[in-house]
Structure 1
Amino acid sequence: MENHFDPRANYEKTKKEVSYVPRKEATQKTYDSIGFMSGLEVHQQLLTKKKLFCNCPAGLYNDSDDYDAEVIRHMRPTLSELGEYDGTALMEFKTRKEIVYRLKHQTTCTYEVDDTPPFPINREALGISIEISLLSKLNIVGEVHITRKQYLDGSIPTGFQRTAIIGVEGEIPLKNKKVRLIQLSIEEDSCREISDIRHTRVYKTDRLGMPLIETVTYPDMVNPDEVMEACDYIRFLNRSTGKVRVGMGAGRQDVNVSCRGGTRVEIKGVAHTKWIPELTHVECFRQWALLKIREKLQAKFHDYNAWEMSYGFLDFDMFEITYEPLKVAKDSGEKLVAVNLPGFKGIMSHFTQPTKMFADEISDRLKVVACLEKPNMLHTEQFDPVITDLDLEIIAPMLNAGPEDAQIIVWGPEEDMETALETIEERCKMAFEGVPQETRKS
């Protein structure tokens, strides 16, 4: 089967269609044309002697291999007060993660592992949060109510974070404008991740429960530099009190980004404000590219709700394997599956962001949801092809593949294949809708 399609040329062509420009060449007109919009959630640890809801000392840290005990948990989603399941919680549940917590007696008590009710809120932390709220021109609430925020990624053993709103509706001045603040909350910090490999995620609990404030802005920033400026100002304001912690991890921010027609996507855990301009620039154009992909797919499929992929299990011995990860998979007794994506020719190598194409969206999701470590798949539009024409002559008839289709080969443990196939189909169907609602790591 001859294939004259050039993925590299398609990538460059679609990059031009998206009108991508490097950040240093972008102007306000560039961002206006794609409808750049961004808001911030700035987190800052408070300089207190104790944690927020227990009497354990705050600010003591230990090495990853310095612990006294381990607790293992499996997170399960529960219905909210509205009788609904949170989408993120359901996705985390699909990963079948085993969460391991490493405990140090010096910094952890039974409260952190949900065996003791919370103690009264730390008054020192409450006072600092009120002071910073006033500096931010926020209106202090009449009563402080402790609420729960669901956390199913395992970073909090209880599965939820205790948080309370302290001030609402404030503002901060920037060089050329004012940015409105939605609220400032006080909350307990989460665990520090040690590793996340396959179905096991390991945390240490030294940071867990430390007092933290979260300042949330409206999406008033219209270019990446404004986002960084707003974040720098909030962090400066917090530090000006002399009552917050400094150093790596003491201040972190989640950045919310969208483009015109896109979806609010949260980039979590941005440690340095200098990373913000590039991250927000790239994310906004990624969404713009996904909207272009949506246009192309909807033009191909009028009834895209009926779109379905097909797949078939392969035998490693059907091919002459030279690709090292496939050799390892064969030796490990893993399964090999070929997937046909109808109408996705030219989509897999479609530009999404610098050095990334749409195929990476699928691969990333396989890592997160199906827990298949990278490299976890091959596809027919790679710049340096591993799937040869001879391989396609074997695979295509099995899948009833057409000339406008794309193919994927994915491998992994047998027990993960069902989730992997569901994940591939789910992400491809999301492409017909545009930009999926998701949280991304910085």
Structure 2
Amino acid sequence: MSEYDYDELGLVAGLEIHQQLDTATKLFCQCPTELREPEESTRTFTRYLHPTRSELGEIDQAALEESKVDREFEYLAYDSTCLVEEDDEPPHELDNEALETVLEIAQLMDMKPVDQANVMRKLVVDGSNTSGFQRSTLIATEGEIETDDGAVGIEDLLLEEESAQRVEETDEGVRYSLDRLGIPLVEIGTKPDISSPEQALEAAERIGMLLRSTGKVKRGLGTIRQDVNVSIAEGARVEIKGVQSLDDIDDIVRNEVARQARLVEIREELEGREASVGETQDVTGVFEGTDSGVIGGALDSGGSVMAVPLYGFDGIVGREVAPDRRLGTEFSDYAKRHGAGGIFHTDELPAYGVTEEEVADLREAVGAGSEDAVAIVAAETDVAEGSIEAVAERAGVALEGVPEETRGANDDGTTRYLRPLPGAARMYPETDVPPVEPDPSEVPEPELLTEKVERYQDEYDLSAGLAEQVAYGRRMPLFEDVVTDGTDPTLAATTLESTLTELRRDDVPVENLTDSHIEAVLGMVDAGDVPNEGLPDLLEALAEEPGRTAAEAAEAADLGSADEDAVRETIVEVVERNEGQVEEEGMQAFSGLMGECMGALRGKADGDLVSEVLREEIQKRA
């Protein structure tokens, strides 16, 4: 894909960063913030959701369209699930730990906290919240971050509750897990100051670094999501939801710019053709006895085939608007939202079992000529009717250019239609939670990760590479805790960033190791209860059986430190066993015998002690 002149196109972009906070409890209840496996669920319950009117009597269009799809929402509950999470009890007061964390983040972005923070309800009827809305609180406004291409303003910072975790689609609707629902989430919205894909990526990376500098955000897949708002001068604002990886942001922006530019080109071409969208029609009779498996299957089930003539659209419905996505794909996204599996259109037919004769009959049935296209949907009658109307609506928007809409990010850097852009009608006050008055004066400003790297080098004498690994690593807070408690900084750093990595590569389940496990192991090494050399084995033993304490695992694996007499006895045995080599080679035998001694001691002795005693024993015999 060729690069566009973004200034000439008038690219304007902004970011919304959503980051889970690493708090002890959820935002409006005292439930833990740990994720569970669906198999751990102890019970389920179901709900049906529908949109409500705002205080002004308005209904949000995005919620209204979502509600047109009749679905049952099933929720997996756990032994820790409470009545607040089930929406059977009012929410409790806003979690103070979460509030303090977002105030720290606000300081890092030079933002001004609000005088009073009021909780609002944001209408959501896709099932991701049992209540039908998400609670959101504006905490600070008017900040700024720097990028190589200039400053990017930070418009607002909000504290929100995380949505339920989508587990799978079911025959009746969607299944969600309640373990994630209510985890505190910070949302950071930039101003539309971003003017290139590269600047979008840099701004996201900068915000990510600031968030991690607090040491109070969750790490790992799914804990941070980026939404990107993109528009060009002749296009429209499009909100792209759920960008999981920072590395994808620049590609997302590039592809969206290209998509909008091509939709503008299509609009101009359709204008030149005086194109229009016809009325939807039932064309079931055209396909009686068809060899098409998809269409035949729908008809055999009592369904229908609905069509819409697209006058002047010939050759354009199949036009590519993004990598591996065509205008017809855009139409199909709308049909899928109403339950259809997709659409067929004459730019791709005859194919899929549809014959040339059927295509000709289809054109004749709807009054389409050679310069026209026809789109069809085959499904249950009510689904086919709703879906073809959605296709006709989207085709009509193609005559105008780029639709304002919310789109979802795909893994390949492209996007798909989700729903219309939400409006102001989706927000209204939460009456069950009292307002709070944020006090930033008692919140210390966090040390930036870049500053930590320098301090770790100066204060702890870590190498530049190791200092950066630790500062940017997910266990940075643990490193600071154990070093403050007296653990050798180099031992702590190498354990967290090297030893654990090596164990993971050896398929040791290090994800089972908690901070408490690692802290206890380092404590035993510090106290001399376990030698440095036994540390990897002890971590492995704990990872395999995380229910044990570090002391129990060390005893079971026989990893306690051997005293000097026992060490000397083992080394003497090794030296005497290799007496001929020692007499012949003298101290040159040291290297080979050192490995044999360490193996015989099985990590029970410190390497320095083994080295010292081995040298003495060799010198006696050399």
The two structures share one fold, judged by TM-score above 0.5? yes
Q: Which residue of 1 aligns with 2:407?
A: 440
Report if aligned partners of 1:198, 1:371 keep a CA contact under 8 Å in 2: no
Residue 330 of structure 1, CA deviation: 4.2
Q: Which runs of 5+ in 1 are unaligned?
A: 1-20
Q: Which residue of 2 aligns with 1:8?
A: none
The counterpart of 1:347, out of the listed 316, 319, 329, is: 316
Which amino acid is the alignment partner of residue 433 of structure 1?
E
- For 1:338 and 1:271, locate their aligned partners in 2 and report how far apart those are by CA, in whole Å: 37
- For 1:104 and 1:155, locate their aligned partners in 2 and report how far apart those are by CA, in whole Å: 17
Report if aligned partners of 2:306, 2:385 keep a CA contact under 8 Å in 1: no
- For 1:436 and 1:193, locate their aligned partners in 2 and report how far apart those are by CA, in whole Å: 27
1:125-204 alignment, distance < 5 Å? 125-196=98-169, 200-204=173-177
1:226-375 alignment, distance < 5 Å? 226-301=199-274, 307-315=277-285, 318-321=288-291, 323-368=292-337, 370-373=338-341
Q: What is the alpha-carbon root mean square deviation over aligned residues?
A: 2.0
1:85-96 alignment, distance < 5 Å? 85-96=59-70
Residue 131 of structure 1, CA deviation: 0.8
- For 1:34 and 1:71, locate their aligned partners in 2 and report how far apart those are by CA, in whole Å: 50
Deviations 1:351-376 (A, max 9, x none): 211221111011111112x1223xx2
Moved more, 268-277 or 401-410: 401-410
Secondary structure in 2 matching 1:147: strand
1:42 aligns with 2:8: no
Q: Which runs of 5+ in 2 are unaligned?
A: 410-622
Deviations 1:241-272 (A, max 9, x none): 11111011111111111111211111111110
Residue 385 of structure 1, CA deviation: 3.4
Moved more, 45-54 or 350-359: 350-359
Residue 77 of structure 1, CA deviation: 1.7
1:206 aligns with 2:179: yes
Q: TM-score, normalised on structure 2?
A: 0.63
Which amino acid is the alignment partner of residue 222 of structure 1?
S
Q: TM-score, normalised on structure 1?
A: 0.87
- For 1:266 and 1:112, locate their aligned partners in 2 and report how far apart those are by CA, in whole Å: 28
Q: Which residue of 1 aligns with 2:533?
A: none
Moved more, 162-171 or 94-103: 94-103
Residue 389 of structure 1, CA deviation: 2.1
The counterpart of 1:409, out of the listed 373, 376, 379, is: 376
Secondary structure in 1 matching 2:281: strand
Count of residues paired in the alignment = 408
The counterpart of 1:75, out of the listed 39, 49, 54, is: 49
Secondary structure in 1 matching 2:321: strand
Residue 238 of structure 1, CA deviation: 0.5
- For 2:71 and 2:273, locate their aligned partners in 1 and report how far apart those are by CA, in whole Å: 38
Moved more, 120-129 or 191-200: 191-200
Q: Which residue of 2 aligns with 1:379?
A: 345
C-alpha spacing 1:258/1:191, structure 2 compared with 1 (3 Å) = same
- For 1:433 and 1:98, locate their aligned partners in 2 and report how far apart those are by CA, in whole Å: 36
Residue 164 of structure 1, CA deviation: 0.8
Q: Which residue of 1 aligns with 2:357?
A: 390
Q: Which residue of 1 aligns with 2:397?
A: 430
Which amino acid is the alignment partner of residue 309 of structure 2?
N
Report if aligned partners of 1:95, 1:199 keep a CA contact under 8 Å in 2: no
Report if aligned partners of 1:316, 1:330 keep a CA contact under 8 Å in 2: no
Deviations 1:70-101 (A, max 9, x none): 22222212222333221111110122222222
Residue 315 of structure 1, CA deviation: 4.2
Report if aligned partners of 2:51, 2:123 keep a CA contact under 8 Å in 1: no
Residue 397 of structure 1, CA deviation: 2.1
Which amino acid is the alignment partner of residue 334 of structure 2?
R
C-alpha spacing 1:197/1:289, structure 2 compared with 1 (3 Å) = farther
1:61 aligns with 2:43: no
Greater relative contact order (Cα < 8 A, sep 6+): 1
Which amino acid is the alignment partner of residue 371 of structure 1?
G
- For 2:98 and 2:169, locate their aligned partners in 1 and report how far apart those are by CA, in whole Å: 32
- For 2:52 and 2:126, locate their aligned partners in 1 and report how far apart those are by CA, in whole Å: 14
Residue 327 of structure 1, CA deviation: 4.5
The counterpart of 1:100, out of the listed 46, 62, 74, is: 74
Moved more, 94-103 or 178-187: 94-103
- For 2:294 and 2:62, locate their aligned partners in 1 and report how far apart those are by CA, in whole Å: 30
Residue 224 of structure 1, CA deviation: 0.8
